[in-house]
Amino acid sequence: MESSYFCVFKGVRLFLSLQILMICFMHKGHTYGVEGKIASRTASVSSLLPSPSCSPSTSKASSRKSTLEVIHKHGPCSHLVQSPNPLNHTKLLLQDESRVKWIQSQFSNGSDGLEGSATIRLPARSGITIGNDNYVVTIGLGTPKKDLTLAFDTGSPLTWTQCEPCVGSCYNQSEPLFNPSQSSSYANISCPSTSCSQLGHSVCSGSTCPYFIGYKDNSTTAGFFATEKLTLTPTEVIDNFEFGCGQDNQGLFGRSAGLMGLSDDKISIVQQTAAKYGKYFSYCLPSSPSSTGYLTFGKDSGASSSVSFTPLSKVPQGAHFYGISIEGISVGGNRLSIPSTVFSSGGAIIDSGTVTTRLPPTAYSAMRDAFRTAMANYTRAPAFGLFDTCYDFSKESTVVVPFITFSFAGGVEVNLDLSGIFYNVKASQICLAFAANSADSDLGVYGNTQQKTFDVVYDVAGGKLGFGSNGCS
């Protein structure tokens, strides 16, 4: 009897101890592991779904004089004319896959991105080319200025917009086409000239400098390389900005007026404004199409000290991308046993135009399996496109989701926002927002879904990339 009583007492004490332990490791919807690391968080299912109304984000960046508002072009905050049809997720992901394959081919075959003496070959746009780029900004061009909405892309060098007259064809865009004849500050760049030679060819069209960009999906833009007054904000004006004035534009570019190139290339806006902004810019992509983000040029003296920097890694000559070094992944506070060579064999870039992150298959499988284990209590849904791990949350009010943390070179740890973990097709089909490459040796791509809500800082002159939490909502 005494022995039985002792066992019962010991069992009760153990039960109470476990209850106390659980209480100690639950705080504000977070679950903590035994080592004190945050393992998971509780979220309402409604927070994973887009809102029908616009709720602009508030951030410190919005008060900076060189800050542009970033909007998701398919959301309620967009001032562009909305398509009557819902966003085609299937088509978007197919185009995203095409873009990634093109990028990877440029790294695997050592191409410098040029084709022929007069052709600049750039990657296919994410989504339906530029027309389905998720994020856009509005700038002013000319004197007097005309507002134009441009998609922005860290993987493209040239900034261009459609111009009148259309000597070939022009696609439909939301705003009126830019008319250089009505601007007192417009000037064609002569050919031959030093500026014209930056395009990588020496073919002249009379005395003017032509450009031609052919995208992988056979969309094209052609016109003249010119200079113009660029107005970023009322107080931030760039004189003699070099851009492409497109007079023959064909393909599925959607209703944006063109593209802002943010790569580290001599013709990009980053290089052209180096004297003013020091080759330093940052952006925050909102968690939902129902919110807004920002794109800021220049270093803010009051910038958050919470930004952690990882070195930018070198990319092949002529590749218009920013390289990064991924060193590990954690799920639920536990570092996965992935050999470092898995990440280093193919390397990786960060890209604002790729929708979802591509990982080496060895790393992806380890992350997916750990995530599935943590989410075992929830109903699985059919796979969707690139995504093989989806859930039906339509009957849930809240879900407990494990944290996913990326470890970058330099000891940088990035805990993804919920919006960076899931891709929302619909409430009954919410998917783990990652995909596997074909081989571990393929280039990895850190996509824009995983960048959501972070202050992503490009210190190009300093050779480093920063991540700051809570950049926008």
Cβ burial of 164 (10 Å; 0-12, 13-18, 19+) is: middle
Cα–Cα distance, 384 to 48 (Å, whole number) = 17
**Of 291, 255, 298, 259, residue with least CA distance to 276:** 298
Estimate to the nearest angstrom the gap between the alpha carbon of 94 and the chain centroid.
17
- Categorise residue 168: left if φ over 0, alpha if ψ from -120 to 50, beta otherwise: alpha
Cis peptide before 210 (omega within 30 of 0): no
User: Which residues does residue 203 pair with via DSSP β-bridges, in sequence order?
Assistant: none
Distance CA 385, CA 383 (A): 7
Which residues form the catalytic set?
153, 351
Question: Whole-angstrom Cα distance, residue 263 to residue 106?
Answer: 15
For 50, the 3-state DSSP assignment is: coil
Q: Residue 29 corresponds to which tokens in the numbers above?
A: 């919807």
* Residues 6+ positions from 54 with CB-CB distance below 8 Å: 75, 76, 77, 290, 291, 292
Q: Supply the DSSP string of 291-347, one letter for each residue.
A: SEEEEEES--TT--TT-EEEEPBP--TT--SEEE-EEEEEETTEE----HHHHHTT-
